[in-house]
Amino acid sequence: MTTITRFPPSPTGFMHIGNARTALFNYLFARANKGQFVVRIEDTDRARHSDEAVQVIFNALEWMKLDYDNEPVSQYANRQRHIDVANELLAAGKAYKCYCTPEELEQMREDAKKEGRPVAYDRRWRDRDESEAPEGIEPVIRIKAPLDGSAVVDDEVQGQVTVDNKQLDDFILLRSDGVPTYMLAVVVDDHDMGVTHVIRGDDHLNNTFRQNIIYDALEWNKPVYAHCPLIHGTDGSKFSKRHGSVSVEDYKKEGYLPEAFCNYLLRLGWGHKDEEIIPMDKAIELFSLKGINKAASKFDIKKLENLNAHYIKEADNHRLIDLISPFLKDRHNIIISELGLQRLDAGMDALKDRAKTLVQLADESKFYLVDTPLTFDEGAQKHLTPDSKALLQSMLDTFKDMDGFVHDEIEHKCRNIAQLEADGKLGKVMMPLRAALTGTDKSPSLFEAAEILGQEETIKRLNHAIAYIGSNSVQ
């Protein structure tokens, strides 16, 4: 039998990282078993429905490169089928119409609360004749849940979980306005889509017992279940905005690569020995439900950053240049010119070695792309002082006379200046040079950066920095 997994998000307007991890696990399990991964949009909440919210989901899947099989299904489009199944259950005597008024239901809830009973609805219409139905009340359709015994779920992650059937009520399948409930829709759709494995958050475990009642009533095969513990924050509570960014879109905006994000989400809840770096192709080879952690895992941004740094280092330079372009535009209003592109091409190996995020990579690439005169940030200003003016002047004079303006030669000259004028301390020379060439106090090797900028540009920038110090130190 072909393995079919599903991802059935409700379009809430953003894709929570917990949902993203669920999608990833379902995707990996399908691919690991040469099966299918299908998507169903649970769009039955029409009051809050919007196409943009649906698009957010597809954008996230696309970014994470979780390609799915078949056309995505709209749960709302299947509503007639859900209604038909509810009516089938009614006709088979496995469901019934309930004519309780809202007041009666409220009373039952209050009584149950007082007596500490988990089930409020007292099943008063289960065996009552419809001829007793009150006027003017549209009935709901309720399932006949088992009255005694217990229900068992053999969960691939949680193990065997048993619930006393007394805990489960005759829940609603079809509301009085004819709208099917989530409980019914999900079972019918999973069945019709041939879903063999349901991998989802353990906040749905309670629903599983109810959904199994519907499967049993319809005599349908149940899927295999794997309920994964939710993601927690560092304080051990459910991951929320308090702990960090919650939506996939945010991680994209913060400059994470999708492969780093997926690798991190994978490790956050699944493991293979103690391997940390597991790219997608390897994850497909290795993924199994057995590897899913039984305990909730804590989100750790540092680990995500480290993985991101790793994948940035491994990434193709041209891809990185494409990826930082929007950040350069948004953050610095920079469009990469032909010259800028040449410089980035030459400098990217060193730049990407240092970057934890694409934002950092864009920021640190900026100096290759801006025109002189540079503006100096606070860090740079600290090194552009009257004390460093003489050193910058020496560099300027030395660089002007150089024939081959290459990395090794530049280094050699800087070391000489450090020996002669800065007590041998290379840092004393390099920090003002860094400020002059990059406008910041952070950059990869300046010998290389100067070579890439070229002799003329380097001299221009040194001149400007010297003038800047001059204009700033006028008393």
Q: Which is nearer to ligand GLU, 131 or 221 (CB)?
A: 221
Q: Which is nearer to ligand GLU, 185 or 453 (CB)?
A: 185
For 122, the 3-state DSSP assignment is coil
How many angstroms separate the first and last alpha carbons of the chain?
84
Q: Applying CB under 6 A, which part among 6-14, 123-131, 364-372, 405-413 lies near ligand GLU?
A: 6-14
Nearer to ligand GLU, 227 or 352 (CB): 227
> Could you tell me the two tokens for 89?
């259950």
Q: Which stretch binds ligand GLU (CB under 6 A): 3-11, 318-326, 342-350, 393-401?
A: 3-11
Which lies closer to ligand GLU via its Cβ, residue 205 or residue 402? Answer: 205
Which is closer to ligand GLU, CB of 9 or CB of 347?
9
- State the catalytic residue, choosing from 241, 290, 329, 425: 241
Residues 430-469 binding ligand GLU (CB under 6 A) are none
Span of 8-16, 78-86, 150-158, 303-311 interacting with ligand GLU by CB under 6 A: 8-16
Q: Which is nearer to ligand GLU, 21 or 352 (CB)?
A: 21
Tokens at 192, concatenated: 């019709």
Contact 368, 343 (CB under 8 A): yes
- Taking the complex as a whole, the smallest distance from the CB of residue 68 to ligand GLU amounts, in Å, to 15
Tokens of 367: 């100096």
Per CB under 6 A, 10 contacts ligand GLU:
yes
Choices 5-13, 125-133, 162-170, 358-366 (CB under 6 A): range interacting with ligand GLU: 5-13
Give the full edge-to-edge strand order of the sheet including 73-74.
73-74, 36-41, 4-7, 197-201, 224-228
Q: Is 223 in the site for ligand GLU (CB under 6 A)?
A: no
Nearest-approach distance from CB 35 to ligand GLU, in angstroms: 17
Q: Does 293 bind ligand GLU (CB under 6 A)?
A: no
CA atoms within 13 A on the CB side of 131: 0
- Residue 153 CB contacts under 8 Å (≥ 6 apart), including other chains: 160, 161, 162, 163, 205, 208, 209, 212, 225
8 binds ligand GLU (CB under 6 A): yes
**Cβ count within 10 A of residue 475:** 2
CB of 297 to ligand GLU, least distance (A): 19
Q: Which stretch binds ligand GLU (CB under 6 A): 2-10, 55-63, 130-138, 148-156?
A: 2-10
Q: Which is nearer to ligand GLU, 42 or 411 (CB)?
A: 42
Q: How many helices (DSSP H) and strands (DSSP E) are in the chain?
A: 19, 12
3-state helix, strand, coil in the chain (%, to 5): 55, 10, 35
Binding mask 174-213 for ligand GLU (x = CB under 6 A): ------------x-------------x---x---------
* Residue 9 found at the interface with ligand GLU (CB under 6 A): yes
Q: Which of 33, 42, 146, 341 is the binder for ligand GLU (CB under 6 A)?
A: 42
- What whole-number distance in Å separates Cα of residue 382 and Cα of residue 369? 23
Alpha carbon distance 230, 245 (integer Å): 16
Neighbours of 109 (CB within 10 A): 12
Residues 368-407 binding ligand GLU (CB under 6 A) are none
Q: Cα separations (Å) of 281 from 34, 276, 431?
A: 13, 14, 43
Tell me which residue of 165, 182, 158 sits closest to 75, measured CA to CA: 182
DSSP state for residue 181 in the 8-state scheme = P
Per the annotation, the verdict on 241 as an active-site residue is yes
Measured distance CA(16)–CA(24) in Å, rounded: 12
Q: How far is the CB of 9 from ligand GLU (least distance, A)?
A: 5
Contact set with ligand GLU (CB under 6 A): 8-10, 42, 186, 200, 204
Catalytic sites, residue numbers: 241
